Amino acid sequence: MEKQHRNVLVLSATQSTLQITGVTMIAVTGLAGYALADNKSFATVPLTCYVFGSAITTIPASLLMKAIGRRAGFQTGTSLGMLGAAICSLAMYFASFYMLCAGMMVMGMYTAFGKYYRFAAADAASDSFRAKAISFTLAGGILGGIIGPEMAKRSKDLFADHVYMGSYLSLIFVCMLATLILTRLDIPQLSEEDRKDSGRPLGVIMRQPVFVVAVLASMLSYGIMNLMMTSTPLAMRAHEHPFNDAAFVLEWHIIGMYGPSFFTGSLVYRYGTLNVILAGVVLLFVCIGAALAGTELINFWTAMFLLGVGWNFMYVGGSALLTECYTPAERAKTQAANDFLIFLTMAISSMSSGLLLNKSGWHAVNLGSIPFLLLATATTLWLMWKRRTSPKQDPSHHVDAK
CA distances from 255 to 44, 144, 231, 251 (A): 23, 8, 18, 6
Q: Residue 206 pLDDT more than 60?
A: yes
Q: What's the burial of 219, exposed, middle or buried (CB within 10 Å: 0-12/13-18/19+)?
A: buried
At 258 the three-state DSSP class reads helix
CA distances from 71 to 7, 170, 174, 268 (A): 11, 23, 17, 28
Query: CB–CB of 354/224 below 8 Å?
Result: no
Q: Residue 402 pLDDT more than 60?
A: no
Query: CB–CB of 341/215 below 8 Å?
Result: yes
Specify the pLDDT at position 400: 39
Query: CB–CB of 151/26 below 8 Å?
Result: no
Q: What's the burial of 195, exposed, middle or buried (CB within 10 Å: 0-12/13-18/19+)?
A: middle
What does the alpha-carbon distance between residue 146 and residue 231 come to, in Å, rounded to a whole number?
20
Q: What is the pLDDT of residues 306-344, one digit of tens each?
A: 999 999 999 999 999 999 998 888 989 999 999 999 888
What does the alpha-carbon distance between residue 101 and residue 87 come to, in Å, rounded to a whole number?
9
Query: CB–CB of 85/106 below 8 Å?
Result: no
What does the alpha-carbon distance between residue 132 and residue 154 come to, in Å, rounded to a whole number?
34
Q: How confident is the model at residue 391 (pLDDT cuts 50, 70, 90)?
A: low
Q: What is the pLDDT of residues 34-63, one digit of tens each?
A: 889 888 778 878 988 998 898 899 999 999
Specify the pLDDT at position 2: 82
> What's the start-to-end Cα distance of the chain, in Å?
35
What is the set of domains in the chain, with CATH numbers?
3-183+192-389 (1.20.1250.20)
What does the alpha-carbon distance between residue 243 and residue 237 come to, in Å, rounded to a whole number?
7
Q: Residue 394 pLDDT more than 80?
A: no
Q: What is the pLDDT of residues 219-238, one digit of tens each?
A: 999 899 988 887 888 888 88
Q: How confident is the model at residue 183 (pLDDT cuts 50, 70, 90)?
A: very high
Q: How confident is the model at residue 102 (pLDDT cuts 50, 70, 90)?
A: very high
